[in-house]
Amino acid sequence: MADSAVDNSSNRRDMPVPSGEFPFTWSDFRQIAALVHSHAGIVLTESKVNLVYSRLAKRLRAIGLKSFRDYCALIEGEDGADERQAMIAAMTTNVTRFFREPHHFDYLRDDVLPGLIEKARSGRRVRVWSSACSSGEEPYSVALTVLKEMPDAPQRDFLILASDLDHNMVARGRAGIYDAKLVESIPIDLRREWLETIKDKDKISYQMKAVVRGLVRFNELNLLGSWPMRGKFDVIFCRNVMIYFDEETQDSIWARFADALTPDGTLFIGHSERIAVDRHPFDLVAQTTYQLRGAN
């Protein structure tokens, strides 16, 4: 494990943290931070103590516990698997939208897809991985970009894998249903062609058509765990995820992405993230866009 994300000094191990209705000590915080790091790679420094309290207090209320000491006992116990997952989901921020960081989709359309379209139409396999897909906006943005340029993609060996460690997000993405406000960032021509309107009393929402949903496969996956996928990916999206990890974990995942990409593979990362190209076999080819080194 990497260095601890919190102060190990024992002189305040059981001192209370300024909180609210639930007793919460620095020992509780350290225990939670260690568990979140070991299961999800997320680093929780002491500056996050109020965030941890506010987000997990909701979990204590939901399951009827009276203190964080009781909560720690639960998540460390044999029967705590479901709550550990709920805890990690509570500590991650699912901020996403359709066509977020549009320069990535411009590059995908103009510089990557022409070669992938040719590859797919020649009968070869094409795979794209949205490796932290949240509720599905990112992989569906990829799917809509692909369908606009290649309407016959569903008839080819062209597939987008979407994965996330939060099973609730995976379920939402698989359903492909979004509020009207959320789809406003989808270009109007794509909305009209590839989304269906759902009316429920006074509420209007939209669902990706079956052909769009068929292009995307959603699965639960923790980037720190095993990757059971067979074959390599032509494109990987991993955006605004590494900011939660320490440098050691980042380096490990960058290396695994390099192994998972085809020789001409492309990796899109978040706007505040960078890959140390002196340590990893990537070349920066556009804004927060990398290509596996040695590609043509």
Active-site positions read: 55, 164
Tokens 């070869």 map to which residue? Answer: 124
For the chain, the residue count is: 296
By CB neighbour count within 10 A (0-12 exposed, 13-18 middle, 19+ buried), where does 217 fall? middle
Q: What are phi and psi of 284, to 5 degrees?
A: -75, 120
Instruction: For 66-120, give the DSSP string.
Output: S-HHHHHHHHHSTT-HHHHHHHHHHHS-----TT-SHHHHHHIIIIIHHHHHHHH
Q: Which among 68, 47, 69, 48 has a CA at the least distance from the CA of 59?
A: 68
Reference 128, options 233, 231, 44; nearest CA is 233
- What is the pairing mode between strands 282-286 and 203-208? unpaired
What region, left, alpha or beta, does residue 236 occupy, with left being phi > 0 and alpha being psi -120 to 50 degrees?
beta
